[in-house]
A and B are shown apart, each in its own frame.
Chain A
């Protein structure tokens, strides 16, 4: 009968041992207590005696191996009658103990207090509906919750703290009569996430200037039919605004930048995003290198991008890499906006509705009817201050107000006064 020889416990705190030299070989006959192997621990070195008489059948643990106490190191083909004598030595605790403790009456200090797995009733049995833990009562009071309405998930239907927290969460989100829920589209979700990030991370400051577009209105009225006929695109105020902004970004590079925490990144290219309303929400396609393009090229690109946005044909590269944003809120009739900056940019401007109004013309004090537009800007106060904003808006305003009958569309906008 094969007997498995285990690495013995050789000291109170010893948990492992190193197999030293084997003193027997496979096939050797050993008597009980004959030395089998050297065992080395950091406390003691010993020769392990054979627990049985028999023939060495197998040596499992090689010399030099570190093994936990109890690991099988060899097998002995034990002589008849040997196993019975040593039975109990390697017994597994749990097996014998069940009968020892449960089957035998033990004295007054004994078995009653030995914790058997599962023999104590779970603490929850006494809980019943109507009896609540302090945590549950406190939460219910704080949040004004009627506990009789909360479904309990604990033992016996007991209401737990998590049940109350879950119920409170549902209540807060729950609907009034007639309300209905519509799912959030991926675009909506993305807008929501970006806007929360913008509003919570960026310290926004708003600024507005009034721009006299009388010259631009006259120019556009004069050329728009011919432009469409020649190029197939419409010439919009937005093309001029983007061109003016691109120019200004060149002069004021801190507006074409992003906040980096302990540094500021000045962007190498001027890529201007334009907001386009679509049925799902809002898309912001990007005009790359807007500062390199002529007004006519900008008009064509704006036409292409807004068309593609509305027909859902924008390519990934059409919406990436923006460094600044222009939003033509005036197209919706707006006169004043406080836009949110696209995260990763320094500022955003909006062009508001162009409106004819009587104004005092500065040159001679006369009152004249002029086409006026508000130009609104939000800027990141971490990078920029009010004086920067004033200078930037002044540059854009000057470029736009300098537009007249002579302004060329086959070049970027020129500087104003």
Chain B
């Protein structure tokens, strides 16, 4: 199997879907001539032409609005928001309209669109190129929110998102783009949305996470294996709908649960996971569910030392796992 980066997996998923289905097209800022600011659509303009690879004005609400209108009329748009930090103008289009279209028309209309957005920090991006917007969208019924961490998952999940008949927010962590490499099978395959994946198996502490933090958690888990602490590492992969069964199975296995995410803590994904565990696996809990999340400050700082402090490190994760194992 060829090894590729996350960005290459994303690119290949979109390219294969565009070849497979004429209804699939891409639109966004700088995605055509420039090939995308992260080169996700590099070469697409030459291969598919300007009707299917559309450079848009710098107006995110129109990107989402155009995509939504096209989707309601039989197309399958992949709209790119250049950085998730610029996603807020689409909030009305996506949360107010797209998420409710099927429900509001009693199933007569639906919106098979994907909104891709590079997100996350640790890339020297500062306040306006580092944000994690997942909690805002994951709160909304009618949307699906996907956040893969590996090239294999990115490709299989993006294909499923493109083929899904309802709006999917597809969040790609910028730092994983070129940092994370992995084997990806040649050709067509899909992975189901809404399914978490056990990435490592262990008996002592369950760690539930997603995105870049998966790799920090895995690093911590590998270090702790030498201390005799076994970590069950669950990658959520899809943040809405959450894979309740997988979360509960993983929680019941060890009775000790740590949820890790880069996004800030209050009212985040970790709070929802913790609530699911507390409600449905109470009798199996051997320790309080613990969260390790970004600090409660408004944005990721630009200063490199401050940015490093904002990001959850594998050392912090290891300490939290150790504390939980000892409880």
Contact B324 A135 (CB under 8 A): no
Q: Does A2 contact B (CB under 8 A)?
A: no
Q: Does A96 contact B (CB under 8 A)?
A: yes
Separation in Å of the B204 CB from the closest CB of chain A? 8
Q: Mark B283-305, 1 if CB is under 8 A from A, else 0.
A: 11111101010011110000011
Given contacts A114-B309, A134-B283, A135-B255, contact A124 B297 (CB under 8 A): no
Contact B38 A43 (CB under 8 A): yes
Nearest chain A residue, comparing its CB with the CB of B311? A93
Q: How far, in angstroms, from A113 to B309 measured CA to CA in the complex? A: 12
Q: Does B306 contact A (CB under 8 A)?
A: yes
Q: Does A117 contact B (CB under 8 A)?
A: yes
Contact B284 A134 (CB under 8 A): yes
Q: Does A221 contact B (CB under 8 A)?
A: no
Contact B305 A14 (CB under 8 A): no
Separation in Å of the A160 CB from the closest CB of chain B? 6
| Contact pick for B125, options A12, A117, A158, CB 8 Å | A12
Contact A100 B305 (CB under 8 A): yes
Contact A133 B255 (CB under 8 A): yes
Q: How far, in angstroms, from A114 to B287 measured CA to CA in the complex? A: 23
| Contact pick for B286, options A42, A117, A160, CB 8 Å | A160
Q: How extensive is the interface on chain B, given as a class?
A: 35 or more
Contact A115 B295 (CB under 8 A): yes
Q: Does B282 contact A (CB under 8 A)?
A: yes
| Contact pick for A134, options B123, B285, B305, CB 8 Å | B285
**B307-327 CB contacts (< 8 Å) to partner A:** 307-309, 312, 315-316, 319, 323-324, 326-327
Q: How far, in angstroms, from A97 to B178 measured CA to CA in the complex? A: 28
Separation in Å of the A127 CB from the closest CB of chain B? 7
Q: How far, in angstroms, from A114 to B282 measured CA to CA in the complex? A: 29
Given contacts A135-B284, A138-B283, contact A97 B305 (CB under 8 A): yes
Q: Does B118 contact A (CB under 8 A)?
A: yes
Q: How far, in angstroms, from A110 to B299 measured CA to CA in the complex? A: 11
Q: Does A136 contact B (CB under 8 A)?
A: yes
Contact A97 B309 (CB under 8 A): yes
| Contact pick for A123, options B178, B283, B309, B323, CB 8 Å | B323
**A74-107 CB contacts (< 8 Å) to partner B:** 91, 93-94, 96-97, 100-101
Contact A12 B326 (CB under 8 A): no
Q: Does B100 contact A (CB under 8 A)?
A: no
Contact B295 A13 (CB under 8 A): no
Contact B326 A134 (CB under 8 A): no
Q: How far, in angstroms, from A127 to B285 measured CA to CA in the complex? A: 14
Q: Does B267 contact A (CB under 8 A)?
A: no
Q: How far, in angstroms, from A147 to B77 measured CA to CA in the complex? A: 60
Question: Residues of A contacting B178 with CB < 8 Å?
Answer: 13-16, 42
Contact B308 A93 (CB under 8 A): yes
Separation in Å of the A157 CB from the closest CB of chain B? 12
Q: How far, in angstroms, from A117 to B308 measured CA to CA in the complex? A: 13
**B148-168 CB contacts (< 8 Å) to partner A:** none
Question: Residues of A contacting B283 with CB < 8 Å?
Answer: 134-135, 137-138
Q: Does B210 contact A (CB under 8 A)?
A: no
Question: Residues of B contacting A161 with CB < 8 Å?
Answer: 255, 286
Q: How far, in angstroms, from A170 to B304 measured CA to CA in the complex? A: 54
| Contact pick for A13, options B174, B287, B316, B319, CB 8 Å | B174
Q: Does B135 contact A (CB under 8 A)?
A: no
- Most central of A135, A137, A138 by chain B CB within 10 Å: A135
Given contacts A135-B284, A136-B286, A154-B327, contact A97 B308 (CB under 8 A): yes
Q: Does B129 contact A (CB under 8 A)?
A: yes
Q: How far, in angstroms, from A290 to B105 measured CA to CA in the complex? A: 85
- Most central of B129, B285, B305, B312 by chain A CB within 10 Å: B305
Q: Does A118 contact B (CB under 8 A)?
A: yes
Separation in Å of the A96 CB from the closest CB of chain B? 5
Question: Residues of A contacting B304 with CB < 8 Å?
Answer: 91, 93
Question: Residues of A contacting B308 with CB < 8 Å?
Answer: 93-94, 97
Question: Residues of B contacting A136 with CB < 8 Å?
Answer: 286
Question: Residues of A contacting B125 with CB < 8 Å?
Answer: 12
Q: Mark A13-31, 1 if CB is under 8 A from B, else 0.
A: 1111000000000000000
Question: Residues of B contacting A13 with CB < 8 Å?
Answer: 7, 38, 118, 123, 174-175, 177-179
Q: How far, in angstroms, from A380 to B243 measured CA to CA in the complex? A: 46
Given contacts A12-B123, A122-B327, A124-B287, contact A115 B292 (CB under 8 A): yes
Contact B326 A155 (CB under 8 A): yes
| Contact pick for A110, options B284, B297, B305, B323, CB 8 Å | B297
Nearest chain B residue, comparing its CB with the CB of A124? B327
Q: Does A9 contact B (CB under 8 A)?
A: yes
Nearest chain B residue, comparing its CB with the CB of A153? B326
Q: Mark A131-155, 1 if CB is under 8 A from B, else 0.
A: 0011111100000000000000011
Contact A123 B288 (CB under 8 A): yes
Contact A124 B326 (CB under 8 A): yes
Question: Residues of B contacting A15 with CB < 8 Å?
Answer: 175, 178-179
Question: Residues of A contacting B326 with CB < 8 Å?
Answer: 122, 124, 154-155
Contact A93 B309 (CB under 8 A): yes
Contact B290 A123 (CB under 8 A): yes
Q: Does A200 contact B (CB under 8 A)?
A: no
Contact A160 B327 (CB under 8 A): yes
Contact A117 B316 (CB under 8 A): yes
Contact A93 B295 (CB under 8 A): no
Q: How far, in angstroms, from A2 to B290 measured CA to CA in the complex? A: 47
Nearest chain A residue, comparing its CB with the CB of B316? A117
Contact A133 B305 (CB under 8 A): no
Separation in Å of the A113 CB from the closest CB of chain B? 4
Given contacts A12-B125, A91-B304, A97-B306, 18 further A-B pairs with CB under 8 A are A12-B124, A13-B118, A42-B178, A93-B307, A101-B309, A113-B295, A113-B296, A117-B316, A117-B319, A122-B326, A123-B290, A133-B285, A133-B286, A134-B282, A134-B285, A137-B283, A138-B284, A154-B327
- 24 A-B pairs within 8 Å (CB atoms) are namely A12-B129, A42-B178, A93-B304, A93-B309, A94-B305, A94-B308, A97-B305, A97-B306, A97-B309, A100-B305, A100-B306, A109-B298, A114-B295, A115-B295, A122-B323, A122-B327, A123-B287, A123-B327, A124-B326, A127-B327, A133-B287, A135-B285, A155-B326, A160-B327
Using a CB–CB cutoff of 8 Å, the interface residues on chain B facing chain A are 7, 38-39, 118, 123-125, 129, 174-175, 177-179, 255, 282-288, 290, 292, 295-298, 304-309, 312, 315-316, 319, 323-324, 326-327
Closest 5 CB pairs of A and B: A93-B308, A93-B305, A124-B327, A13-B177, A161-B286
